[in-house]
C-alpha cells in the first residue's frame, strides 16, 4: 500500500500536529464539524478503562515495532528498517534532539508488524506544542481504512477525543461510540508525554490516552469491518516538536509508562549498586536482635533512578550475641540487582550502675545496720542480680526491676574504713559496677563507741601545691579514718584512707605508731602504702568543730612522705606549717568526731 497526500490537503487542515495511520489507499478528507455521539449497535458495552482481561506487558520494556529518536535523523532505531521519509528540521528535544515541524512532513508506508485488527498496541511520544494565536485543533492522530478514517484530536477547547468520517463507518456497516476526554496538551512550550493504547474488541478498538501519567476513560472506535489492512504512518504537525516516538505490540502498563517519562525507550538498564555498612545492634529482653535492610544500607542506588531501588536481606534475624554476616540485595524496577555483605554485631550493653547512699566518708557505729542504695539502667526487660562488697565482705543486693534500684543493709562488727562496690549483672551476661558516690570513692567509717578514739570521713578541696609531684593539681580529695587505742594496747589501731583523684593518688594505712587526743583535737602518726606499693609515713591532724564550740567547722590536715626516698614530702594540704599547728582546711562534706 502507498500513502497518498497533497500539500493542498495539509494546508487546508488547521491541525498543528497530524499523526496519521493509513489502512489501504488514503483519500484525504476532514470534516470541520464532527458528531460527538452516534447510536451504538452491534458492539458490546464500553468498558471503563482497559479491560482487565487483556494481559499487560511485563515491567521490562518490550521490543518496539518502530522507534524514532530524531537525534539528527529519521532512522528507525528498532532495527526493523522502517525509516521515515520526508524532511523537517531539528531542535533541542526532551532527550537529545527533536523533530521540529514548521510545515514539513514525515511518513512511512507500509509499517510492518503493526497489529491491525489484532492484538492490542501502544504508541508513546514526547510532544511540545507551541502556542498559536488562532486554531481549531492542537493535535490530530488519525487511523485510515479504505474510504473512511477515525481521528484522535482536540476540539476547540483542546480536549483530546475521537471523531469519524468516511462511508466505511456509516450504517449498516457498524455503529460508533465517540467521546471526548478531559485530557489536554498544554501549549506551554514544554514537552509532554502522550501514550495512546488500543485494546481490541469486536470490530472496534477501545482506546485510552495517558498524558503526563494521567489516564482518561476509554473511548471506543471501530476498526475495519472487512478485515485488517497494512498500516502507514504520516506525521505533519504544524507548530510542534516531536521526540522519542515508539510503537509497540501490546499494552504498556503503568510502570512502563512511568519509565518512559524519565528516560529514552531504548535506554540500556544498568543494575543498581548495593552499598553496605557494618552495624552494631543491642539485644532485646530475649538476648537477641533483629534488623531491617535500611539498617545496613549505606546509600545503595540505581544509576538510572537514583535511590529508587528495592532493598532486601537474606535474613533479618533474630540474631544472638556475636557477629553475623547478612547479604543486602538492591533490585531496580527492571529486575536487575546487585548484592553486598554486611557484618551485624549483636552486643549486650552492660548495666550502668551508680551508688546513691550513703555519702562517701559517712561514719557509723559497729553493730548498727547501715543502709546502702544504688541504681542501674539497662535494656528494658532484662533480669538483674546485684552484689554489694564492703572490702572483702559480700552482701546480696535487693533488686527492684520496676524502679531500677538496688538496696542492702549490713551491720559491721569491726571498726574500720570500708571501700564500697556495687555490681549488677543482667540476664544476657552484661556486668556493670560502681565504686564512687557523688564523684568520690565510696568509703564509710565504722567505729566502736566503747573506746576513746577519733573518726572522720568526707572530703575537702585540696589546694594547689599540696601534691608536690605536680603542684598545679587541685580539686577534691576524700578521706576516711579510724584511730583508737584498744584497752591495754600501747599502739593505736584503725585504718586511714586518702584519695586525691586528679593525681591518681591513693594512700592506705598499714599500721599506726601513736595517737594523741586532746579536747577537740586529735593527731596520730603511722605508715602506709600509695597505690598499693612502697612505704610512706603519714601524720593526720583533725579538729572536731562540735567539741570546741566553733559551729561545727571540722578541719583536717594530712601529711605524707616517702620513707624509701629520704622522707621526701609527697603531700601536705597545709604546706610549710609545723607539724604541731592546728589544721586550717575546712571540710567540704562529711564530719570528724572525737569520741570520749
Cell 533490585 sits at which residue?
331
Which pLDDT score is estimated for 502? 95
The yes-or-no answer to whether 279-347 and 352-441 have a common fold is yes
Alpha helix stretches (DSSP H) within 434-479: none
Is residue 62 within 8 Å of residue 55, measured between CB atoms?
no
Is residue 29 within 8 Å of residue 139, measured between CB atoms?
no
**DSSP code for 16:** S
Q: Which residues contact 81 (CB under 8 A, 6 or more apart)?
A: none
Q: Choose among 187, 270, 172, 184: nearest CA to 225.
A: 172
Classify residue 487 as left (phi > 0), alpha (psi -120 to 50) or beta. Answer: beta
Assess if CATH 2.60.40.10 describes domain 352-441: yes
pTM of this structure: 0.46
Assess if CATH 3.30.70 describes domain 279-347: no
Which pLDDT score is estimated for 44? 36
Assess if CATH 2.60.120.200 describes domain 7-47+62-260: yes
**Residues 533-562 pLDDT 10s:** 999 999 999 999 988 665 678 999 999 999
Point out the residues of the chain with pLDDT beneath 50: 1-58, 136, 145-148, 166-176, 225-230
Burial tier of 337 (Cβ tally within 10 Å: 0-12, 13-18, 19+): middle
Which pLDDT score is estimated for 97? 92
d(CA 240, CA 555): 99
d(CA 525, CA 538): 6
Q: Within 13 Å, how many C-alpha atoms sit on residue 545's CB side? A: 14
Burial tier of 551 (Cβ tally within 10 Å: 0-12, 13-18, 19+): exposed
Is residue 421 within 8 Å of residue 394, measured between CB atoms?
no
Q: Give the domain ranges of the chain.
A: 7-47+62-260, 279-347, 352-441, 451-595
Which set of grid coordinates corresponds to residue 510? 598499714
d(CA 567, CA 562): 5
- Across 62-201, the runs of DSSP E, i.e. the strands, are 66-68, 85-92, 97-108, 121-129, 140-145, 148-154, 160-166, 192-201
Q: Residue 12: enclosing H or E segment and its boundaries? A: helix 7-12
Q: Choose among 304, 239, 267: nearest CA to 96.
A: 267
Which pLDDT score is estimated for 431? 96
Which set of grid coordinates corresponds to residue 104? 514539513
**Residues 65-95 pLDDT 10s:** 889 999 989 888 888 888 888 778 899 998 8
- Across 362-435, the runs of DSSP E, i.e. the strands, are 362-365, 369-377, 384-390, 393-396, 398-400, 405-411, 416-426, 431-434
Which set of grid coordinates corresponds to residue 270? 544498568
Amino acid at each position: 500500500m502507498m500513502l497518498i497526500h497533497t500539500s493542498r490537503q495539509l494546508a487546508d487542515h488547521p491541525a498543528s500536529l497530524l499523526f496519521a495511520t493509513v489502512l489501504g489507499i488514503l483519500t484525504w478528507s476532514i470534516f470541520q464539524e464532527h458528531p460527538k455521539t452516534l447510536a451504538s449497535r452491534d458492539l458490546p458495552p464500553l468498558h471503563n478503562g482497559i479491560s482487565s482481561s487483556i494481559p499487560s506487558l511485563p515491567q521490562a520494556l518490550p521490543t518496539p515495532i518502530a522507534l524514532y529518536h530524531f537525534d539528527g535523523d529519521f532512522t528507525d532505531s528498532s532495527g526493523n528498517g522502517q525509516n521515515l521519509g520526508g524532511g523537517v528540521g531539528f531542535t533541542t528535544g526532551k532527550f537529545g534532539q527533536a523533530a521540529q515541524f514548521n510545515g514539513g512532513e514525515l511518513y512511512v508506508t507500509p509499517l510492518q508488524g503493526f497489529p491491525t485488527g489484532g492484538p492490542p498496541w501502544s504508541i508513546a511520544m514526547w510532544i511540545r506544542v507551541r502556542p498559536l494565536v488562532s486554531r481549531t485543533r492542537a493535535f490530530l492522530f488519525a487511523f485510515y481504512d479504505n474510504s473512511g478514517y477515525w481521528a484522535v484530536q482536540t476540539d476547540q477547547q483542546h480536549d483530546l477525543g475521537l471523531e469519524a468520517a468516511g462511508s466505511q463507518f456509516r450504517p449498516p456497516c457498524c455503529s460508533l461510540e465517540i467521546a471526548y476526554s478531559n485530557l489536554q496538551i498544554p501549549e506551554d512550550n514544554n514537552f509532554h508525554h502522550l501514550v495512546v493504547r488500543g485494546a481490541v474488541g469486536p470490530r472496534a478498538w477501545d482506546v485510552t490516552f495517558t498524558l503526563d501519567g494521567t489516564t482518561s476513560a476509554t473511548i471506543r472506535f471501530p476498526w475495519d469491518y472487512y478485515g485488517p489492512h497494512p498500516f502507514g504512518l504520516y506525521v505533519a504537525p504544524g507548530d510542534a516538536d516531536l521526540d522519542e516516538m515508539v510503537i509497540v505490540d501490546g499494552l504498556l502498563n503503568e510502570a512502563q509508562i512511568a519509565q518512559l517519562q524519565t528516560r529514552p525507550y531504548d535506554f540500556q538498564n544498568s543494575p543498581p549498586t548495593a552499598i553496605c555498612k557494618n552495624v552494631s545492634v543491642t539485644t532485646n529482653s530475649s538476648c537477641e536482635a533483629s534488623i531491617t535492610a535500611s539498617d545496613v544500607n549505606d546509600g545503595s542506588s540505581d544509576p538510572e533512578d537514583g535511590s529508587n531501588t528495592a532493598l532486601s536481606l537474606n535474613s533479618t534475624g533474630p540474631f544472638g550475641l556475636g557477629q553475623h554476616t547478612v547479604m543486602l540485595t538492591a533490585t531496580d524496577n527492571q529486575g536487575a540487582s546487585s548484592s553486598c555483605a554486611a557484618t551485624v554485631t549483636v552486643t549486650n550493653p552492660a548495666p550502668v550502675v551508680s551508688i546513691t547512699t550513703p555519702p562517701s566518708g559517712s561514719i557509723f557505729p559497729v553493730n548498727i545496720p547501715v543502709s546502702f542504695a544504688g541504681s542501674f539502667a539497662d535494656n528494658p526487660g532484662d533480669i538483674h542480680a546485684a552484689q554489694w562488697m564492703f572490702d572483702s565482705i559480700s552482701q546480696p543486693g535487693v533488686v527492684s526491676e520496676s524502679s531500677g534500684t538496688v538496696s542492702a543493709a549490713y551491720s559491721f562488727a569491726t571498726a574500720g574504713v570500708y571501700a564500697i562496690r556495687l555490681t549488677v549483672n543482667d540476664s544476657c551476661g552484661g556486668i556493670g559496677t560502681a565504686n564512687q558516690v557523688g564523684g568520690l570513692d565510696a568509703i564509710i567509717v565504722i567505729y566502736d563507741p566503747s573506746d576513746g578514739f577519733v573518726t572522720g570521713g568526707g572530703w575537702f578541696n585540696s589546694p594547689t601545691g599540696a601534691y608536690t609531684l605536680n603542684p598545679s593539681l587541685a580539686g577534691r580529695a576524700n578521706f576516711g579514718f579510724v584511730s583508737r587505742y584498744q584497752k591495754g594496747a600501747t599502739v593505736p589501731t584503725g585504718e586511714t584512707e586518702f584519695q586525691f583523684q586528679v593525681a591518681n593518688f591513693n594512700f592506705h594505712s598499714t599500721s599506726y605508731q601513736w595517737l594523741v587526743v586532746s579536747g577537740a583535737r586529735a593527731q596520730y602518726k603511722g605508715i602506709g602504702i600509695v597505690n598499693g606499693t612502697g612505704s610512706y609515713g603519714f601524720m593526720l591532724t583533725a579538729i572536731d568543730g562540735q567539741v570546741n564550740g566553733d559551729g561545727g567547722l571540722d578541719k583536717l590536715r594530712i601529711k605524707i612522705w616517702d620513707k624509701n626516698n629520704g622522707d621526701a614530702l609527697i603531700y601536705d594540704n597545709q604546706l610549710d606549717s609545723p607539724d604541731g599547728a592546728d589544721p586550717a582546711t575546712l571540710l567540704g562534706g562529711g564530719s570528724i568526731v572525737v569520741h570520749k
